[in-house]
Structure 1
């Protein structure tokens, strides 16, 4: 009795059929999909191996669909087209094919033991991949952040360390063979870092790279802005002026002495104290973005930001926490088949801990955007 192929094997066979329809060898397809640095032929081979299939990253399936939306069989040196250069018929084919491939991938990932399950947004076929993390203000640094200290520890200079640690382990697990995977402070970023796959952790206040890149992303409708009534974080603002802000508890009665204005400023807790009373943060806002790197469209830019640090952590955990990761990846793949998106999410706090946003709960989604939304408007 002949058994139907598994979803992973079906995807492998579909990818092989797409390549053959273009009359390309694996080597030529690898070069076409990977740009100047290419994709390894072994990667293409593993994705087409129906007897032992390896799942491609979701962004590679987008490249397959984009490439195969056109007929390249007669071209001497076929290249991956830009989505905006497709005509109406090609765009329709791209959208349909991308949804088909993503659906096969999601079906394969639901099977136990499938290779690369859960990799999703954080899998990169080539490097460099650089995470640029916010730097803590000098006034808040530990003495161990001073290079003159015999026990100098570089990580004491980092802000958003919770988010970085959460992300870093996931990045290493999803990209075990990638050697050029690094994390840096904003002032350490070099040209190759900024034009590779770039991950920016933290908001514009403590991350100079985030602040500068926002000026290049004029088509991104959500901007992070400083407001006079919040001194320890920056809110998010939509084109119509709507602001997305954190939520606070009612003022708490406390028996301890209220700190002085200078002490509050030194501790950067101005937003906590109001009229001599303390309030508690109960909900932050997370901002998750995946778009082409504005400095090199052959690579990606991923932004994980928040009004405060809990929002940054929530943006990361939306796609690392096993409790919600698979559902959130499926949501993003279905909602944004083009692969580029921006989404604002609620991050509730319980016992001071940031909860991972579940995108299947409508209340958690504050705002969504993709280039295809604008094209359809």
Structure 2
């Protein structure tokens, strides 16, 4: 990172240690106030290799350090904006502008590859896309699914085939040095599980998604209440997010995008694209492959989750005249749950 990145890191550390004479803020105090981890605070202050915080975190810094009243015994609690004095409000604005200028300078000096599409891995390691296999009663209605049939087509047995087709070609194009494989959960070998993993589809048919959901402890749960009064939904903090249907036709799905460390290999990644219906899975996959939206959505992910090793977004996926509309994650009304924060 060039000098401007070091300047931002230095200023953040200076705020924590020197903003209030006689009182130093400890990293755990600041981490708790910002609802982030202590290592993340350290990465923002590391002048040797600083990470650039998202704008929302710098806004929180300015609000905290504009008033000594943020210090409450051993706790650090920002004063509500509408409770700031005129002098504190002026200092908050001044601090925020300073930090944003330093941030802009730091980002301007980053190499162009700093904001990278999550589907670009750049390490040459194997990528494994995992789809559920359609259940037996569905396969019984499908042509060419019998392996003994001379016309057998293996891909006809896959669920979320649209999303698989969309992602497989895109990932291969962006990672020419990587082998890109696709499997159903029952076909996986240990070497597959320790690759870059991409899970397509929900917890109803994809057993691996079920297991990973339990291990990750995400603040979002998928409830497959297909026979219930209101149907299936995602839930988070006692809120339910249902797909919308009209006359039996899907008008709007709800889908999860998750990115984090592979729980079976810390040097690889885990990515989940999971809608209540296949349309949602396709939509959230296309959010980062569609040429019209992928750069915009990637930039939003970097802005919102930059510095986080794991993050998740639950969003709406609109369906118009039976066609999936790629979600634009910069639109507030499409985003339902964001984690962390």
Same fold by TM-score greater than 0.5: yes
Band of TM-score, shorter chain: 0.5 to 0.7
CA deviation after TM superposition for structure 1 residue 117, in Å: 10
Aligned residue among 74, 77, 86 for 2:39: 86
Deviation digits for residues 62-111 of structure 1, max 9, x if unmatched? xxxxxxxxxxxxxxxxxxxxx96738544533895345699348884xxx
Distance in 2, Cα, partners of 1:309 & 1:247: 14
Shift in alpha-carbon separation, 1:102–1:209, aligned structure 2, 3 A: farther
Distance in 2, Cα, partners of 1:166 & 1:84: 35
Partner of 2:161: 161
Distance in 2, Cα, partners of 1:208 & 1:198: 14
Distance in 2, Cα, partners of 1:232 & 1:211: 22
Shift in alpha-carbon separation, 1:151–1:84, aligned structure 2, 3 A: same
Say yes or no: does 1:198 pair with 2:197. yes
Say yes or no: does 1:349 pair with 2:302. no
Aligned length: 256
- Output aligned runs, 1:83-122, within 5 Å: 86=39, 88-93=41-46, 97-99=51-53, 103-104=107-108, 108=112, 120-122=117-119
Distance in 1, Cα, partners of 2:183 & 2:40: 41
CA deviation after TM superposition for structure 1 residue 197, in Å: 0.9
Distance in 1, Cα, partners of 2:45 & 2:37: 12
Say yes or no: does 1:315 pair with 2:284. yes
Partner of 2:250: 281
Partner of 1:243: 240
Partner of 1:336: 305
Partner of 1:66: none
CA deviation after TM superposition for structure 1 residue 143, in Å: 3.2
Kept in 2: contact 1:347–1:357 (CA 8 A): yes
Partner of 1:126: 124
3-state DSSP of counterpart to 1:149:
coil
- TM-score of the superposition, structure 2-length normalised? 0.68
CA deviation after TM superposition for structure 1 residue 316, in Å: 0.2
CA deviation after TM superposition for structure 1 residue 358, in Å: 0.3
Kept in 2: contact 1:186–1:209 (CA 8 A): yes
Gap regions ≥5 residues in structure 1: 1-10, 19-82, 109-115, 252-278
Shift in alpha-carbon separation, 1:231–1:302, aligned structure 2, 3 A: farther
- TM-score of the superposition, structure 1-length normalised? 0.62
Kept in 2: contact 1:119–1:174 (CA 8 A): no
